[in-house]
Chain A
Amino acid sequence: MMARRLMHVLALLLALCSAPAMAHKPSDSYLTLKVSGQQVDGQWDIALRDLDMAIGLDADGNGELTWNEVRERHGAIAAYALARLKLAQPDGSACPLVIAAQMLDDHSDGAYAVLKLRARCPADVVTLDVDYTLLFDIDPQHKGLLRLEHGALTSTAIFAPDSAQQSLHVAGASRWRQFVDYVKHGVWHIWIGFDHILFLLSLLLPAVLVRRDGAWHGGAGLRPAVIDVLKIVTAFTLAHSITLSLATLGVLALPSRVVESTIAASVALAALNNIWPLFQRRRAVAAFGFGLIHGFGFASVLLDLGLPASSLLLSLVGFNAGVELGQLGIVALFLPLAFLARNTAFYRKAVLLGGSALILVIALVWLAERAFNLKILS
């Protein structure tokens, strides 16, 4: 008995010594909830390892968990998870959760079950009461990491056994903060929306040049170049602001496939115009015409972010301002460089013709992908 006791003593002692090396990842789940009016959409990532400990997934117990074994247990996983997450409104009325789909995802520490959640609350969500009790009975060191999204606003919360119930204010942030968030989204979306950038660049590339005798030459002064750029950018801005507003407010709607395909076509035409002049003198007009379609594209991003009814105008103005700021950034980068390089053959041949040809190819691929729903490049 004494010897056994002593062994225990030593085992614990060793455990103490190895503590510093124990920087391995503990159990966490990742919960995202996206609130929009009465609707709550979510995603919940729970480690397969934890689910196996809780309800057993590895049917044959060989330690190699296959997708079939996970799929077999989808019903049990759903029942287990849903019993441990409750959403409600402050008056106590529940927002019943359902699981729309189950998938997998790989995190840095292993594979996770992904539960796509959906809930509908009795009234528009202002405050959401979340009651989270996943795994706390098996592993009290488990934590639930929540990301709560509402429009462009994101807040986070951590659930642990001593903070299992939390009341989260959804519409709590200041209007200024909301505005700034939407401006940021606007800037970001023009920067990552390559089709818009390429369209704009295609129209701007010839701005520092003049076309004489069927060939390009460097333009004389900065003034005409600036005026040309100003005209194009203003026309594009005016046009996409109009349709962005109308589409966001629900006045106008176009099928997204038509919008996306036309955007691709507009990029192709703008690029082609630099190689084979189609509307050389009227690039501002083209910017306006196609700008109308690009506005629909921006609108779908904004609608995807979700718009709080209470601050619709604020978000719309913020997002649009962001798009314009992002666009100004591109112009501010482009114009000085292009102007300095305008008299070089490199600019006229490689940048204008070569660049336009490359843009044309990319745009045609986009067009094929979007119009025929193909996947050429991934």
Chain B
Amino acid sequence: MTDTAAGPPRAAVVAVERAEPLYASHDKVYPQRVAGRFRQIKWAALVVLLGLYYLAPWLRWDRGAGAPDQALLIDMPGRRAYFFWIEIWPQEVYYLTGLLILAAFGLFLATALAGRVWCGFTCPQTVWTDLFMLVERLIEGDRNQRLRLDSAGFSLAKAARKLTKHVVWVAIAAATGGAWILYFADAPTVLAEIFTGRASATVYGFIGLFTATTYLLAGWAREQVCIYMCPWPRFQAAMFDEHSLLVTYEAWRGEPRGHRKAGQSYDDRGHCVDCGLCVRVCPTGVDIRLGQQLACIGCALCVDACNGIMAKVGLPGGLIAYDSLARQTARSRGQSVRYRLLRGRTIAYAVLLVVVGAVMLSALATRSTLDLNVLPDRAPLFVRLSDGGIRNAYTLKIINKNRERQHYRLTADGIAGAGLSVLGVEAGADGAIELTVEGDSVGTFRAFLRAERKALAGESTPVTMALTEIDSGQSTQHETFFSGPKH
């Protein structure tokens, strides 16, 4: 099957007449324990990510009296999202959009560089399945013990082990659901409510939902999610190119494979001793020696396994390794090619990442705590007053993103001699209009602008309404227009 001149082998598909069912029973995967560099990286990623997930809601951030003191909080009833010192209003949801775009480009860049590192190291499905598999291994034993336990008949010992495992799984799943809730409500408060039965039905409902889904997906479905449910594996062909680092089996070096007695030479045969360990440690149950395949999530545990075996038989490691297709093809011919991590695709992703990040940062930095919207009345456009003047009415919406009540001065410019008044607000001695808006809210006002007919520039005269915060001097303005009769 090998053809070293043409590069790594490809599996030929030959149709075989066989009556096989259209639906296959599940071949349960029993991953074997393995040690090595990538296993350590996976454990580290698991600890960091789960730690972040479970502990982040407990971080505190003081925002003053009356405001939530949780650093990370999505306040649905209050329509606010809090991230440390950043407070997002609903009309600023584009920050979330930007965050998602950043995440997407980051993912594309990581995949273009190093293949399915998301799948193998950081995807929540992988992390929780890894955790559940650890629990299973601690309670039921390593691969051989689990195989024996599953094929053994019913016994109290077996039932006790299985039950313990499932109880621990459900407990972890419930903690996962509970932690989700903590992002949407004040953590200490709602946790106390959950345990004393005082939390709302929504809270218990979501905890139940996440418990069920975590337990089912990480305990039972596992690799079925990656193979059948997740869309990400299915367009990896568009994500890699010949320079992406992927988990690769060096067939030109390993084939022809076969068991080897001690003392046999490696002439006329490959380095693969067909120990099958790479298949046994794989969490999705693939044989990486068949090449790149959908079900390989790139967790590199087979790399650790094979390197361990190669060290024992005294051969150099890297029979399965992170390498690019271009380098593999060259090395199979005895040539050497450099890594090409900096190429058009990766540079483009990196640039986009930086640009989007910069746009978001500048939007955050220039975010003001004051906004004015002026909505001119359309029915009627203008009103003739009994003294001959013309009057327009406007609805003003003032957004006060400060925590405290603020006072503002309102002016209107653009028409000589125009008189401004606001319903329900007494003008000051000099005609100044002062408006008050409560903290963290939108104030609605009805404003009237009166002008002499001769001061107008026809049917539509541009007018600028300006709002100045009295305390800080911060100001904003809104361009609008004044409607008048046709002359």
A and B pair up: no
Question: Chain B residues in contact with chain A, CB under 8 A?
Answer: none
Hey, which bits of chain A sit against chain B, CB under 8 A?
Answer: none
